[in-house]
């Protein structure tokens, strides 16, 4: 597929915390952009800027050369891709679908296989970087599927991200994202414990963070979410409820490899406590509240 802003029509489904910014970058790049979202009002500003609203997923799929999706969970992915009104039944032969939701690697393989039957190339391309990465077009994008399809899609992916890596066959992008989430889960527990320790010790948190973030303890989470914890800003760049979903997928995937992950188990149990407290819409840095509540 030859991609150009003059000829290539992009369909985009999912205008959440990250998807809205990602769609906006594609619109700014000059593509003809067709939108669908469960809540239509989230598309209003993009439509005012020139995007086209579609009332049905089937219409969006039929009118797009590339369909990009970033929705909530695997059940949402199945709903928009499969069945009579789904993407794979309505997209044209030779079109491409780029599934960017963090989802089940087995589902990614299923979509790839069913896409081949319909003459549609499907990539699994989950992202990392949260709301900041989406707004700044600096997302890390992990891609699975046919390499030729990846190479064709790369000019579009480069509009939304910076660290874009082909990981291998279908499902490889999702497996890579699971590795990412496993790493983050333990890191967030450690960061929140460290910040609670700083508070109990009576230290200045900004001074401590400036120091330890430049040493061996440094991480993306510390640089970006540590300052939010200090400010008491628990708004979601990535929400607890979605993180719980991701950790659950990772644990189930690990079972297929006969892999025990006690660190991930612990992190998941702590985040589930947050959800039980009605804090599932908080950002992942909201885990700090578990420690704060004991002060």
**Nearest to 97, CA basis, from 75, 72, 73, 71:** 71
**Spatial distance between the Cα atoms of 254 and 239, rounded to a whole number of angstroms:** 23
161, β-bridge pairs: 139
Q: Sort strands 66-69 and 127-128 into parallel, antiparallel or unpaired.
A: unpaired
* Residue 205: how many other CB atoms lie within 10 Å: 16
How many CA within 13 A on the CB side of residue 190?
16
**Spatial distance between the Cα atoms of 171 and 89, rounded to a whole number of angstroms:** 21
Whether the CB-CB separation of 107 and 82 falls below 8 Å is answered with no
Q: What are the residue numbers of the active site?
A: 177
Whether the CB-CB separation of 54 and 2 falls below 8 Å is answered with no
């Amino acid at each position: 597929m030859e991609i150009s802003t003059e000829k290539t029509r992009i369909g985009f489904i999912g205008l959440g915390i990250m998807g809205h910014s990602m769609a906006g970058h594609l619109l700014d790049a000059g593509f003809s952009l067709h939108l669908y979202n469960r809540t239509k009002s989230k598309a209003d500003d993009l439509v005012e800027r020139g995007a086209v609203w579609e009332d049905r997923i089937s219409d969006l799929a039929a009118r797009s050369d590339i369909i990009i999706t970033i929705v909530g969970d695997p059940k949402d992915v199945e709903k928009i891709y499969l069945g009579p009104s789904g993407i794979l039944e309505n997209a044209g032969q030779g079109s491409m679908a780029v599934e960017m939701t963090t989802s089940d690697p087995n589902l990614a393989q299923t979509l790839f296989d069913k896409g081949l039957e319909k003459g549609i190339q499907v990539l699994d391309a989950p992202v990392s970087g949260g709301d900041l990465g989406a707004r700044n077009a600096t997302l890390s994008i992990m891609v699975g599927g046919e390499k030729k399809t990846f190479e064709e899609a790369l000019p579009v992916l480069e509009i939304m991200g910076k660290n874009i890596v082909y990981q291998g066959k279908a499902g490889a992008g999702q497996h890579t994202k699971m590795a990412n989430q496993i790493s983050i889960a333990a890191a967030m527990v450690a960061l929140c414990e460290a910040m609670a320790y700083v508070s109990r010790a009576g230290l200045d948190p900004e001074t401590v963070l400036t120091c330890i973030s430049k040493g061996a303890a440094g991480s993306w989470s510390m640089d970006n979410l540590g300052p939010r914890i200090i400010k008491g800003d628990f708004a979601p760049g990535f929400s607890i409820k979605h993180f719980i979903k991701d950790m659950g997928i990772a644990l189930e995937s690990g079972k297929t490899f006969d892999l025990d992950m006690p660190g991930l188990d612990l992190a998941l149990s702590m985040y589930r406590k947050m959800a039980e407290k009605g804090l599932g819409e908080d950002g992942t840095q909201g885990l700090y509240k578990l420690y704060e509540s004991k002060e």
